[in-house]
Amino acid sequence: MNASRIAFIGGGNMAAALIGGMLKDAREGARPSIVVADPDLDRRQALVDQLAVEATDDNHVAISDAQLVVLAVKPQVMQSVAADLAPQLVAGQLVVSIAAGIPVTALQRWLGGHAAIVRAMPNTPSMVGCGATGLFAAKAVSREQRSDAESLMRAVGVVQWVDTESQIDEITALSGSGPAYVFYLMESMQAAAEELGMAPEVARLLTLETVYGAAKLALTASEPPAELRRRVSSPGGTTERAIAELDASGVREALVRAVRASRDRSRELAAAVGENSSE
């Protein structure tokens, strides 16, 4: 991390996860100075107590002298927060936005033409250090600033840069919305087990461990998931029968349609924000 001082505007769960990850990964003596701005007194005090960071209710104080500014506020308040910060930002500061659906062009306009912006699309598993984040950098972002943005998001998981901002919509559809697809599957598996007579607590535990174990196996295996599935599906066996039922029900096609629908909605939301960003 090149930045020696980092300001977080917003101190919610994702901000706390990023701060915790950075402090855990940083070498002793190389930890950046971190300040968090949040209007909620209890939230500020919790961050001070748990993470030993500076905290303030003044966004302007927070970004003063910070080389990296992380916008971690809800999308619906981003425009007003950005417009308020615009007069104080200086050319050397990198702004990283983790707000979903806000395109770089809108951020640049709201920030008074500030050019050095990275848009990040993390997902909720980032809050437990197992995230997957897409990153897109505006042209004015330097190599050092790209490195800082990557270090920031690597603190909570894996990172993938994209060359065009439209690819963020694809990442949103896959890894951004993806945890919900998995939770949907888990919900269905547990419900099926309970219908077969299994106790709810047992069904829940076995569902969670099965999904966790399958993901861990896929991460460590050299074979693709399709091959791992084939290995479990013995001819004439129980798994083969189950997969045949899923195929007959069009589950694969439905999932493809779901991912595409998420991508399309992400594009619609970004377009709507872009149209309104000049207001």
Are the C-beta atoms of residues 68 and 13 closer than 8 Å to each other? no
Determine the average pLDDT of the residues in 32-59.
Answer: 92
Report all structural domains of the chain as residue ranges with CATH numbers, in order of start.
Answer: 5-164 (3.40.50.720), 178-261 (1.10.3730.10)
On the CB side of 140, CA atoms within 13 Å amount to: 14
Tell me: pLDDT of 271 over 90. no
- With cut-offs at 50, 70 and 90, classify the pLDDT of residue 27: low
pLDDT digits (tens, 9 = 90+) for 211-242: 999 999 999 999 999 999 999 999 999 999 99
User: Can you give the pLDDT at residue 196?
Assistant: 96
Q: Which residue has the higher pLDDT, 251 or 101?
A: 251
Q: Residue 72 corresponds to which tokens in the numbers above? A: 């971690």
Cα radius of gyration rounded to whole Å, the chain = 22
Give Cβ neighbours of residue 12 (< 8 Å, ≥ 6 apart): 38, 43, 72
Give Cβ neighbours of residue 198 (< 8 Å, ≥ 6 apart): 206
Q: Residue 159 corresponds to which tokens in the numbers above? A: 């990172």
Are the C-beta atoms of residues 125 and 98 closer than 8 Å to each other? no
% of residues, the chain, pLDDT over 70: 96
Tell me: pLDDT of 95 over 80. yes
Best CA proximity match to 116, nearest among 86, 159, 145: 145
User: Can you give the pLDDT at residue 136?
Assistant: 96
User: Can you give the pLDDT at residue 279?
Assistant: 52
Q: What single DSSP character describes residue 174?
A: I
Collapsed DSSP state (helix, strand, coil) of residue 72:
coil
The pTM (predicted TM-score) of the whole model is: 0.86
Give Cβ neighbours of residue 91 (< 8 Å, ≥ 6 apart): 114, 115, 116
Tell me: pLDDT of 278 over 70. no
Determine the average pLDDT of the residues in 237-253.
Answer: 95
Cα 126 → chain centroid:
6
Best CA proximity match to 3, nearest among 155, 136, 108: 155
pLDDT digits (tens, 9 = 90+) for 157-203: 999 999 999 999 999 999 999 999 999 999 999 999 999 999 999 99
One-letter amino acid for residue 76 of the chain: Q
Best CA proximity match to 102, nearest among 74, 137, 124: 74
User: Can you give the pLDDT at residue 274?
Assistant: 65
Best CA proximity match to 121, nearest among 161, 85, 151: 161
Strand partners, 8: 36, 70
